[in-house]
A and B are shown apart, each in its own frame.
Chain A
Amino acid sequence: MLNVENVSGGYDGEKIVKNIHFSVGKGEFFGILGPNGSGKTTLLKLLSGLLELQQGMVKISNISITDLTKKQLAKKVAVLPQLSPQAFPYTVKETVSLGRYAHHRGFFQTWTEADEKIVQEVMKQTNISQFQDNSVMEHSGGEQQRIFLAQALVQQPEILLLDEPTNHLDLAYQKELLDLLRTRARQEELTVVAILHDLNLASLYCDRILLMEQGEARAIANPDDVLSEELINRVYHTEVIKQLHAQIAKPQLHLMPGKKNEKEGAKVKIDEALLSFSSERIVLQAKQPLKTLSSGVIGAGFGWYSSFVNRHVDANYNCTNHREEMQEYLSRYDFPVSQTVGMMTAVALEDHSYGMYEGDGFSIMIVVTAGVGNAVDSTRMDSPVAGPVKPGTINTWIFINGKLMDEAYIQAIITATEAKAQVLRDCNVRDAVTKKQATGTSTDSILVAATQQGKEIDYAGTATELGYLIGRGVYQEMKQSIQNYFKRKEMHDHLSLN
């Protein structure tokens, strides 16, 4: 559709855009990114024929744009430049209707029904028909941008060029505008070439992206490849972190703020001093949020949390509304719900066990509460555990004073789970139904939280020092906790026998 062949150009003989070469297919949404002054707008002016090419060629359906008259070009290419102030109070409809200029021949061609139809249709699509008789000047920047988009669309172009169309727009309008453009691209095969400011928006909407730096193309590829941490860090001279969008398979980049202030930057260490115990709950209160992966009732999944609560509930606790009930509980005791991981257990909290383990340049702390009242063998084949869901029994907390990669979190959980199975075997805990070795209880919970300071730790498999410490720590603390549990049970039985 659009072929840009070795294009160079700029103002007054100066070369701002250098040797840009790419092509855009019909119906494609093509983004242009780059830092300020990288030549994005100049490139767009070269593509639209506003600036003369110093070198190279721009072709639309294999016809060079220099071979077209201005009117012919306007029927193929429409442009939405950045918003500029208006001099006269034209009405919205008058403004949109000007888009039909290129379709009229000479002075005597009158406004036709076809013209009226397309103008009304586009005004409806861009959601501006309700104020078509108002003056453009009365409207906000976002609405004006929609009015001029409508003007460009009634040109019925094959290609639409846009210069930062979402500038000055509210979040909702940004989405609305880009959604509209994408729908046009998908359904009517409109080819869209847009300069975008926001890397994350570009990632969400563009099929391909051209990344420019100092007038040259640094990359032309799909969003995933262009928005690589390394490339963006180099071109924008700033540190970004790449992650996947939470809901769709598109990358998103996160800025890293500069030097933190002292309080924030203070070194944190998780140790026993932060723990507090009562018969009702075990709490760890960190001074700063920890990056946490957990299966808690509250704060599950990845997140940043500073309060960790393991709450004792009665064995007959009614689990139907447990999430809301837990939220109420946390609020009642002044734990901010959004910053808290909350777990429940039916076992006696006094059976807990915890310990610190020192590694080379990092340390970990393990906290376990355990009971084996409803121990199961996870490999038993007959059926899911019958009966009402009982609150968890083995809750494992792993705190790490170190900086973990995502994979290390998952490996930490695998390692801890393997250690748990070993503890249960060594304690000879059996599944009540199958009488085979149990591997856990039916409602176990786990969390791995790290300070994300200090030593960088990529992995936590059993071959690594972290994995080794987790395996050893979980084994020791859990065994201790289960032994405490048995001891107390025995005492209890003994007392009741007497």
Chain B
Amino acid sequence: MKSNLVKYTLSLAFLVSTMLIAVSVGSVAVPIPEIIKIIGSELFRLPVAADVDSMYISIVYDIRLPRVILAGLVGASLAIAGAAFQGLLRNPLADPYILGVSSGASVGAVSTLFFNISIPFLRMYTLPILSIIAALATIMIVLFFAKKVDKTMRVESIILTGIIFSSFLGSIISLIIALTGEELQQIMSWLLGSVSMRGWRYVGIILPFLIIGCFLLLMNSRELNAMSFGEERAQYLGVNVEKRKMLILASGSILTGAAVAVSGTIGFVGLVIPHLARKLWGPDHMHLLPLSMITGAGFLILTDLLSRTIISPQVLPVGVITALVGAPVFAVILIKQKRKAAR
């Protein structure tokens, strides 16, 4: 039993150090003390100390910091959504990407761009909101079909249905891309997932949804604990299962939809991070959810750093790196689960 203080201190230390390193490293290296000075003055609205190079201020404030923060917010969203889906479906293999939720959100986003939809009242939130709606619709359809296929909703059935829908939705996206013809490179790189060149505007887009989604999920952490023991048992314990399940699915979709809208599909964060966090800190959702968020943010900041430095000056889509890390982890968990079931 590790004390909660230790859990949170270690996780936050990881997050803060990845942030500092990610802001510091690049074509122009910014020394960490300078970063602290710049961020500190921004936070407290003080004039920046005279000895700081103004080029540093521009690099940190206009380029690297928004990118790092966006990566952190996307990572946090995907990780907490993954943790919630896993708890709800009693399955450490559930993840917004594998369940097809990310693909659904992509279809929503791509169609918004393709048809140039702009709902006057929503303005810049049109894209995330349509992504969220598409994400929610996808998870509902996936679960509906999984139940049709297999009444007991076994893990394998849900994952298989999710994968089938993922490829189906993927082909729809390909169709839309084929029809656009232009800006192919841009949409492709968006699809593979990236947080580069987005700026503060995108931070503003994702932040409200992250706050709403996380708040709703944290409100349901006890219910998630109960539902980890199965919906029947949860109801016997007094959980209003139908209502809570909808709330959790909706929150997960809000988080995934908003993340996809700002960064494209970044896979496996929602799989690897909650799994790791559970291994390290235990399965209690009261702490698993916030700890997954913190760790997920740090993880995506780190992978984003890798993506822009590993073959510099070329920039890899961050989704490529997460998939390179995540797919083998997925395989390992699957094998372990099967072994346990066989025993």
A residues contacting B by CB (< 8 A) are 48-50, 69-71, 73-75, 77-79, 81, 84-91, 94-95, 98-99, 101-102, 104, 107, 133, 148, 151-152, 155
Q: Is the CB of B222 within 8 A of A101?
A: yes
- Select one of A50, A86, A91, A102 contacting B238, CB under 8 A: A102
Asked if B222 contacts A104 (CB within 8 A), the reply is yes
- Is B130 in the interface zone, CB < 8 Å from A? no
User: Once the chains bind, are B229 and A86 in contact (CB under 8 Å)?
Assistant: yes
A69, A90, A101: the one contacting B237 at CB < 8 Å is A101
Query: Contact: B236 with A107, CB < 8 Å?
Result: no
**Which residues 54-91 in B have Cβ within 8 Å of A in the complex?**
87, 90-91
Assess the B226–A88 pair: CB atoms within 8 A. Answer: no
Decide yes or no: A81 and B228 within 8 Å by CB, A74-B238, A133-B1 being known contacts: no
Contact A98 to B240, CB < 8 A, known contacts A88-B92, A89-B283: no
Of all A-B residue pairs in the complex, the 3 with the closest CB atoms, nearest first, are: A74-B238, A102-B238, A87-B90
Taking a contact as CB atoms under 8 Å apart, the answer to whether B284 and A94 are in contact is yes
* Chain B residues whose CB sits within 8 angstroms of the CB of A78 once the complex forms: 236
> In this complex, what residue of A is CB-closest to B230?
A84
Task: Please state if A50 and B235 are interface contacts (CB–CB under 8 Å).
Answer: yes
Interface string of B307-343 (1 = CB under 8 A from A): 0000000000000000000000000000000000100
Set of chain B residues within 8 Å of A107, measured between Cβ atoms: 218-219, 222
Q: A88-B228, A89-B278, A98-B229 are in contact. List 8 more A-B contacts (CB 8 A).
A: A48-B236, A69-B240, A70-B235, A70-B239, A73-B238, A87-B92, A98-B222, A104-B222
- Indicate whether B232 reaches chain A with its CB closer than 8 angstroms: yes
A462 to B278, CA, bound (A): 82
| Known A75-B238, A95-B229: A87·B91 in contact at CB below 8 Å | yes
Query: Looking at the complex, which one of A49, A74, A88, A155 makes contact with B283 (CB distance below 8 Å)?
Result: A88
Q: How large is the interface on B (under 10, 10 to 19, 20 to 34, 35 or more residues)?
A: 20 to 34
Could you say which residues of chain A place their CB within 8 Å of the CB of B235?
Answer: 49-50, 70
B278 touches A88 (CB 8 A): yes
B241: chain A residues at CB < 8 Å are 70
Q: Which residues of A contact B232 (CB under 8 A)?
A: 50, 81
Q: Is B37 close to A, CB under 8 A? A: no
* Cβ contact within 8 Å between B282 and A98: no
Could you show 13 A-B contacts with beta carbons less than 8 Å apart? A49-B235, A69-B240, A70-B240, A71-B238, A81-B233, A88-B90, A89-B283, A90-B283, A91-B282, A101-B222, A101-B226, A107-B222, A155-B238
B residues with a Cβ closer than 8 A to A are 1, 87, 90-92, 218-219, 222, 225-226, 228-230, 232-233, 235-241, 278, 282-284, 341
Contacts of A148 in B (CB 8 A): 233
Cα A87 to Cα B226 in complex, Å, equals 12
Chain A residue contacts of B1, Cβ below 8 A: 133
A70: chain B residues within 8 A (beta carbon) = 235, 238-241
Q: B276 to nearest A CB, angstroms? A: 14
A205 and B87 CA atoms in complex are apart in Å by: 38
CA distance A23 to B278 in the complex (A): 46
B251 to chain A, nearest CB (A): 14
B residues near A90, Cβ cutoff 8 Å:
225, 228-229, 282-284
In the complex, what distance in Å separates the CA atom of A48 from the CA atom of B232? 10
Which residues of A are found within 8 Å of B233, using beta-carbon distances?
79, 81, 84, 148
Kindly state the separation between the CA atoms of A319 and B13 in the bound complex, as whole angstroms: 86
Q: Is the CB of B219 within 8 A of A101?
A: no
B237 lies within 8 A of A102 (CB) = yes
For B241, give the chain A residue with the smallest CB separation: A70
Docked-complex contact A101 and B238, CB < 8 angstroms: yes
- CB contacts (< 8 Å) of B240 on chain A: these are 69-71
Given contacts A70-B239, A87-B90, A102-B237, contact A94 B218 (CB under 8 A): no
Chain B residues, CB < 8 A from A152: 236
Report how far A90 CA is from B90 CA in the complex, Å.
12
